[in-house]
Structure 1
């Protein structure tokens, strides 16, 4: 059977539901695609035994459908737990760790019928927007061999773009659902913080920064997967109620106001060509009836960065501190992780409180901005994909980057205050991939997905 693995996930799901496609045939085609593409790309890791996967696909064909993911192969980011599979987090310290249970988000996808085939590659502990680690190595960009895939959901983005899976999960603290999506021509959504629950472990109150979310090749698939992932967990204090979004994607976008933030008034250095390409593409939203206009910087970029690196180091020190305290595991930590932990532990309570106040001020300022705009837009990255053997770009457009993550400062306005953001892919620029971050008001996830649906139609025409 000739199966088009590059078509949208909802089309594949419909074919399974109608009986025009079997889960067994889909699984075989998937394994064949992985065998053909993954050795070069290195996007999928910890791949399960083929005979076992084919048996599970046959079982899916013989049982009633559980949900729209029924019988569909899925690889889970190697920061999330899948019962019975390794969760290495890209670290030698966890190379042999097997998860006893699946995380909430993963279990929800399994309950909807997904067959987990393995994991997707990630940077060590998800730190840094470049997918490489000492356990599995580096993931290549799907368009540019020898260039980075971005990260930390780089394996997921590349697996999607190469047709090895049809939808994927990811997580985003500092652009990890947005940067790799933009660099590999797919969609990635950071939902409003609290919409997709994390695990009810450790501190659940102070300074949340990251969230899980969906990735796909089509906005409708993003919405369908988000509808599975989302919904509160009664064991956690900040969850949002969630009504299905996928039925409401198609909308008249006439008159929606889009604010183009560009390089934040020059605060964010951009590699040559990035800003011009993004500005040209943003203007195309007028073809959908939207109103596009430039927006001056709505908040001091320096204050946002100071708040961000304080709260990020504080959070990383809390999560990775136990590994630092044990000599055996400390020796396995990469330098940037040690830097974050030591920096976070050196912070005073007043410094953390000051960072939280800046964060609160920015949330209030952003809320006022959305009185005038339906969405704001920034590039998904400040540079084109860089050589895969770099650890990180040490300068952009002649401006030194003073930390391992400063080159991704453009994602901070969203991450700092938990706004929803949909990364949409752009047409290639001289063969180079880039994306746009569509940013919405808090809880405005649906409006962004509607814009994404319009963008998909515009580029498919």
Structure 2
């Protein structure tokens, strides 16, 4: 399938996919130093308008590119991501780069070690170009925090790019990098990827190990989300995401939750592209959530194509679980160092995000927390029973398209009043169950805002999700160009 971001009006290495860049660097047709120069130019042109990055490591990226060039001249074997620029979400640690994570608590924090995924990406030849913006300590679904400018959606600069991997999705959608690391505690890879017209995947819980991240007990607020957090890719294509997963996945003794990866060929799965005969359940709202009309229309059209063009057996069916959003936040509280986080919050309370302060100051009871644990068991049991009847489940990724900046979410959906976080109601259940889930773009609203389709697999069935995502990507007619606001900025720069 042709690269969706190939645009002759802004030629260069960054308009290629990660697979093509790595191949060009290995074969010598692309110079990694020139690739990083293009990244620097793109970020310089675009990021003042988008605010995807909170740290740009130009010096480190050039040093890594130069070292890679030396290795190539020596004839050394280069890795599968040779010379590919990668952006890293600010909650994922990169040694020597600030990890402020949008919080005044960590304004001066500089990690002393790489996260496991960063180690693996570097070992595969990837070049880390910077850290991407997040809501404060990732405790929200939009890219606003009290330290850095708000991240904007490259498809409409007055709209949100979602969250909490807000900057990662915006950086990829704007063509500043081909790959970005995201993390997903309740939809934080899938939602921003969907709102920005990208592929994003939360693999099975533990498939990609995480440390220090939310595993290091010394850092309250950072050491949260331990039993629901997933690390995964945000990319322009399923094939690039599969390549990234082939590098990042696999067990590590620093993460007690990590699971084996033997026998999983991510890239083969992305090339399979067949869903013929698969039995797929679809639900647009679990039977009780309001959904935007444009999202519903595009979702129903995509479901029809599953049957008509991909030969699937589709059936409208909901798992039957109740609304568990309150229970989900109980799990977040259970994973949070409330004592330590409240202590540091007391020192910075007036500077912090009000919703985060309210979360910390809530009088969480033992019953609240054990009720959340019971709810997780309930939803996990509900889902394995449901998935025994189906190969896959598909839903809208977000109940709404990208909305305006400065809010946590819409106060109503299709005229129905809702709490400001309700729009994320399709994604968080699968952090509670740990199932693999991905999103692929299925079209745009009349306003030109992307909409995503969520694909959920059975327990540990990651490759089936990747194959399904690639199949659906292959039949969807999504934009083949950079987002119009991005094109306009780049073309203006070229003229000047």
- TM-score above 0.5: yes
* Residues 63-85 of structure 1: per-residue CA shift (max 9 Å, x gap): 13441122222221111111110
Q: CA separation of 1:54/1:311 partners in 2, compared to 1, >3 Å: closer, same or farther?
A: closer
Which residue of the other structure, out of 264, 273, 279, is the alignment partner of 2:286? 264
Report if aligned partners of 2:225, 2:332 keep a CA contact under 8 Å in 1.
Answer: no
Q: Which residue pairs with 1:367 in the alignment?
A: 384
Alignment partner of 1:311 is 2:331:
yes
> CA separation in 1, counterparts of 2:255 and 2:361?
29
Structure 2 residue 405 is the aligned partner of structure 1 residue 384 = no
Distance in 2 between the 1:237 and 1:93 partners? 27
Aligned equivalents of 1:216 and 1:227: distance in 2?
14
**1:414 aligns to 2:430 (yes or no):** yes
* 1:394 counterpart = 2:414: no
Pick closer, same or farther for the CA change 1:53–1:411 going to 2, 3 Å: closer
Q: How far is 1:417 from its partner? A: 0.9
Separation in 1, partners of 2:51, 2:176? 11
Equivalent residues of 1:299, 1:362 under 8 A apart: no
Displacement of 1:330 in angstroms is 3.5
Shift of 1:282: 2.1
Other-structure match for 1:346 = 364
Query: Unpaired runs of 5+ in structure 1?
Result: none
Equivalent in 465, 472, 476 of residue 455 of structure 1: 472
Q: Return the TM-score normalized by structure 1.
A: 0.92
- CA deviation map 1:363-416 (0-9, x unaligned): 1221122222111011111112111133432222233333x4233122122122
Residue 118 of structure 2: aligned partner: 106
2:455 to 427, 434, 438: 438
CA-CA distance at 1:130 after TM superposition: 0.8
Change (3 A) 1:378 1:2: closer
Alignment of 1:174-213 (within 5 A): 174-199=186-211, 200-202=215-217, 208-213=227-232
Secondary structure in 2 aligned to 1:425?
A: strand
SS at match of 2:94: coil
Partner SS, residue 293 of structure 2: coil
The corresponding residue for 1:129 is 141
Q: What 5-or-longer segments of structure 2 have no aligned partner? A: 1-9, 479-496
Listed as ranges, the matches of 1:36-435 within 5 Å are 36-50=45-59, 52-63=60-71, 64-199=76-211, 200-202=215-217, 208-243=227-262, 244-251=265-272, 252-265=274-287, 267-286=288-307, 287-295=309-317, 297-302=318-323, 304-315=324-335, 318-319=336-337, 321-326=339-344, 327-343=346-362, 345-348=363-366, 350-402=367-419, 404-430=420-446, 431-435=448-452
Superposed CA offset, 1:154-195 (max 9, x none): 111111111111111100111100111111011110111011
Q: Give the length in aligned residue pairs.
A: 452
Runs of 4+ off more than 3 Å: 202-207, 329-332
Tell me how far 1:320 sits from its aligned partner.
5.7
What is the SS of the residue equivalent to 1:46?
strand
Contact 1:77 1:170 (8 Å CA) reproduced: yes
Structure 1: distance between partners of 2:338 and 2:119: 25
Per-residue deviation, 1:321: 4.2
Distance of aligned partners of 1:206 and 1:337 in 2 relative to their CA distance in 1, 3 Å threshold: closer
* CA distance in structure 2 between the aligned counterparts of 1:74 and 1:174, rounded to whole angstroms: 23
Question: 356-365 or 24-33: which moved more?
Answer: 356-365
Task: Indicate which of 17, 24, 35 corresponds to 2:26.
Answer: 17
Q: Deviations over 1:27-63 (max 9, x none)?
A: 111111112211111112211235x533431221111
For residues 342-376 of structure 1, give each alpha carbon's deviation from its aligned partner in whole angstroms, at most 9, with x where no partner exists: 33x5222x332232222212212211222221110
RMSD over aligned Cα atoms:
2.2
**Would you say the 8 A contact 1:314–1:347 is kept in 2?**
no
* CA deviation string 1:282-328 (max 9, x = no partner): 22122122222211x322323x234223222333xx24642321332
CA shift at 1:460, angstroms?
6.4
- Considering Cα pairs closer than 8 Å and 6+ residues apart, tell me whether 1 or 2 has the greater RCO: 2
Q: 2: distance between equivalents of 1:361 and 1:385? A: 31
Alignment partners' CA distance in 2, 1:26 and 1:395:
44
Q: Which SS does the other structure have where 1:93 is aligned? A: helix
Distance 1:206 1:387, change over 3 A: closer
